[in-house]
Amino acid sequence: MRALILAAGKGTRLEPLTETQPKAMLPVAGKPILQHILEALREAGVREVSVLIGYLGEAIRERFGDGSELGMRIEYIFQEERLGTAHAIAQSRFTGDFLVLNGDTIVSAADILRVMEAHSGVATLGFRRVENPESYGVLRVDSSGRVLEVVEKPERPVSNTINAGIYVFSPEIYAAVERVPRSPRGEYELTSALQMLVEEGEVRGVELTGVWMDIGTPWQYLEANAAMLERLPHRIAGEVEGRVSISGRVYMEEGALIRSGSYVQGPVYIGRGAVIGPCAYLRSHSSIGEGCRIGNSVEVKNSVIMEHTHISHLSYVGDSVVGRRCNFGAGAKVGNLRLDEGEVKVKVRGVLTPTGRRKLGAIIGDDVKLGLNVMINAGRKIGSGAKIGPGVVVYRDVKRGSFVVAEQVQRER
């Protein structure tokens, strides 16, 4: 069976991380999200894959090419206008049954197989039971697995059963998506097509029981990274100097170096060519990308530090995501806890949004430069290419490309 992966979207809820790269390319435990999906498909026996690309899609094509590196055959479909999920499905034209997955959701090979084997009729979808169904498409499913209703993000969910974003469709789905009207948001939504098919008795559901990680927000991204780190084996392929303490599972790539006096508390991922220390402290659930430098007396906790970023002297980064090619001046620190220890809130699409987290640091885009002794408050976003001058305390989000300084005022006596 062929698979279609929907990876054309911009991922605005993950900004500033997606200002300069597609969300499917964000690294989770050392691999792009899309690579985790492709590897699960390969394990499930799928070898023919079409990837729908759009926003910054060339980065995906350049990374995965024709798929031969993964033992698959990958083709790319370019979606020029991104007008919703039903519109995305309509960009393909397959003649047989086909699998559809979202490009920002990591699923297990076992669950992919479960949905494929259960398929009958026009549409079969995977569902999960979650604690926050109001954030998803909510389903009513009877005891036989027949889907009775699909409601997109209801204020009062009728169940805790959600659409998990993995489907098998027969070619008849194309007629259904062509019947979908534009939603109030101006999009052609797959849930509308599914509801039409539900009313015609054509949709079945299969409960997913394996790995499932929907990565729509920065805090979900951190949770997915932590969960995937828990699945990594212990592997030290780089160089470890004397007087280094390692506890728990650490996956260290070739060419990486941990210098003397450092303490690494797994699970931790350390990418190729990264240099840790001397006297650095990597705490659990941290991913350090290729070519990074985590230097003298730097502490990193439960964070994703993307490739070629340097945090070299006397800094603290907790519960944060830091993009590619960033540089932290000496003493730059990220706070991850409010003084009142209340829930951290983050602006998403301009709206202050609860995260459900007591601890959450900064979300920092690519190519950001922080001067000496910069301090960033919990839950703040720093846009890509921004420069923050020495001694600045960041109380509000910083827009892409901004230059923020603390002005010096001199008064004569």
What are the structural domain ranges in the chain?
2-215, 225-404
CATH level 3 topology of 225-404: UDP N-Acetylglucosamine Acyltransferase; domain 1 (2.160.10)
**Distance, CA of 387 to CA of 369 (rounded, Å):** 5
In the chain, the largest separation of any two C-alpha atoms, in whole Å, equals 85
Mean pLDDT of the chain, nearest integer: 94
Please compute the mean of the pLDDT values over residues 19-26 and round it to a whole number: 97
CB atoms within 10 A of CB 88: 25
Q: Which residue has the tokens 């729908």?
A: 52
Q: What is the CA angle 375-301-13, rounded to 5?
A: 75
**Distance, CA of 317 to CA of 332 (rounded, Å):** 9
**Distance, CA of 40 to CA of 111 (rounded, Å):** 9
Residue 140 has pLDDT above 90, yes or no: no
* More reliable by pLDDT, 355 or 140: 355
Residue type, 139: L
**Cα–Cα distance list, 216 to 106, 220, 222, 294 (Å):** 11, 6, 11, 28
Cis check: omega of the bond before 354, within 30 degrees of 0: no
pLDDT in tens, 60-109: 999 999 999 999 999 999 998 888 889 999 999 999 999 999 999 999 99
Q: What is the CA angle 201-203-206, rounded to 5?
A: 135
Q: Active-site residue among 234, 285, 310, 313?
A: 313
Q: What is the per-residue pLDDT for 249?
A: 97
**Distance, CA of 263 to CA of 253 (rounded, Å):** 17
Please compute the mean of the pLDDT values over residues 240-260 and round it to a whole number: 98
The CATH code of the domain at 2-215 is: 3.90.550.10
Answer yes or no: 234 catalytic.
no
If DSSP codes are grouped into helix, strand and coil, which group holds residue 12?
helix
Determine which of 76-85, 107-116, 243-252, 381-390 has the lowest per-residue pLDDT on average: 76-85
Q: What is the per-residue pLDDT for 191?
A: 85
Q: What is the per-residue pLDDT for 392?
A: 97
Closest CA to 178 of 193, 191, 167, 168: 193
Q: Determine contact, residues 387/368, Cβ cutoff 8 Å.
A: yes
Please compute the mean of the pLDDT values over residues 379-393 and round it to a whole number: 98
